[in-house]
Amino acid sequence: MARTSAANRKRIAEMKARARQQRILQAKRSGKPEIPDRILKKLAALNLPNNAWVYSVCLDALMRGA
């Protein structure tokens, strides 16, 4: 696997942050939530423990499948 320089990692992180901000802004403009209701319902049905890491991992998995 190719090594990534520190400058390139920083650039990639900035690009991801910019994309995240654009998604949030688009959701605010359209009035559509960033996380669809059906995914929130699936998360609620999982009865996850009160742990931010577990929640974020499950949310990422559900969003990839969406």
Q: What whole-number distance in Å separates Cα of residue 56 and Cα of residue 43? A: 10
Q: Which residues contact 54 (CB under 8 A, 6 or more apart)?
A: 48
Contact (CB, 8 A) for 55 and 47:
no
Claim to verify: residue 25 and residue 41 sit in the same structural domain: no
- If asked whether residues 27 and 39 sit together in one domain, one would say no
Q: Phi/psi at 12 (nearest 5 deg)?
A: -65, -40
pLDDT in tens, 2-20: 788 999 999 999 999 999 8
**Residue 6 and residue 25 in one domain:** yes
Q: Which domain holds residue 20?
A: 1-32
Residues 4, 26 within the same domain: yes
Residue pLDDT, tens place only, 18-28? 998 998 888 88
Number of domains forming the structure of the chain: 2
Phi/psi of residue 47, nearest 5 degrees: 50, 55
